[in-house]
Every structure is written in C-alpha cells, then in structure tokens.
Structure 1
Amino acid sequence: MMSGSEQNDRIDALETRIAYQDQTIEELNMALTAQWKTIDLLSKKLAMLEEQVRSGSYIADPATEKPPPHY
C-alpha cells in the first residue's frame, strides 16, 4: 500500500504531465490551423492559375509585350 506522500507525489507528477500535454495539444492545434489556412490559400491560387491556363489568358499579347533583350 502507498503512503499518502507517495500518492501525492504521483498525483502531482500526473497533473504536471497533463499540463504539458494540454500545452502541446494547443500548440499542435495552432500549427495545424495555420497549415490548413496555407493549404486553402494555395488551393485557391492553384485553381485560379488552372483557369487562366485553360482560358489562355496567361499568354501575353504580342502587341503590348516587349521582346526579350536577347532579340
């Protein structure tokens, strides 16, 4: 049987572990949220670029585009 002091030490250790785990979970949640925001932004940009490629609007107008310097 454990003494009261040993039991209190074990409870303190468990409470400390839980506190660190809660902090870690919150940090991971914040990182995951930031990553999803980035993924969402990149997905929207990719969709926009795909639409530009499909529509041909990415091609420069030769009348307004200057020739490259090596010409």
Structure 2
Amino acid sequence: MNGDTPPNDSSMTEDTTRDRLDALETRLAYQEDWLDTLDHALAAQDRRVAQLERTNDMLRERLQHLRHSIDHMSDDDSTPAPSDEVPPHY
C-alpha cells in the first residue's frame, strides 16, 4: 500500500487494483534484478578475497623462508652481521 487508499475502501475499482498490482509487479521485477546483480557482485568479491588470501599465504611463506635464509647467513662466522658492518666512510 502506498498510503493513498485505505485497505478496506470499497470505492477501489478493478482498474485501480490492476494498476496497483502492475506497479507492485514492476517493483518486484526491479528488486529481483537488483538482488541478482548484488549476488553476482558478492560472488566475484568472494572469489577475489579467496585469491588474495592465497597470495597473502604464499608471500608470508616466502618471507619466512627469506628470514630463515638470512638467519642462517648471519650464523656463518665469516660473514659479519649487517649491524656489525662499518660503513665505508668510517
């Protein structure tokens, strides 16, 4: 109801009822289309988030490997740790 006609108004004609029904069906069709559009957008975002999570996991693993490699390099006595190196201008 759009507020123009009380629900029990007996003066409502068949044409008025048909017009209101057509308007409601039109609104419903637009809402269904909008809902379908939102559903597709949500599915695309879900796929994108899953892809970004996989990329994040892969990069995190690579970073751990690099840190592990750096730690092993600093354990080598022949290579000084970066904090122990003297800059060339000293």
Which structure shows the higher helix fraction?
1
Q: Residue 6 of structure 1 is aligned with which of 12, 16, 29?
A: 16
Is 1:18 the counterpart of 2:28? The answer is yes
Moved over 4 A (4+): none
Q: TM-score, normalized by length of structure 2?
A: 0.61
Work out the CA distance in 2 between the residues paired with 1:55 and 1:21.
51
Deviation of 1:55 (Å): 1.5
Q: Which runs of 5+ in 2 are unaligned?
A: 1-9, 70-90
Alpha carbon RMSD of aligned pairs, Å?
1.4
Rg larger in structure:
2
Number of positions where the alignment pairs a residue of Structure 1 with one of Structure 2: 58
Q: TM-score, normalized by length of structure 1?
A: 0.77
Identical pairs, percent: 36
* Structure 1 residue identity aligned to 2:33: Q
Is 1:37 the counterpart of 2:55? The answer is no
Q: Residue 59 of structure 2 is aligned with which of 29, 49, 57?
A: 49
Work out the CA distance in 2 between the residues paired with 1:36 and 1:15.
31
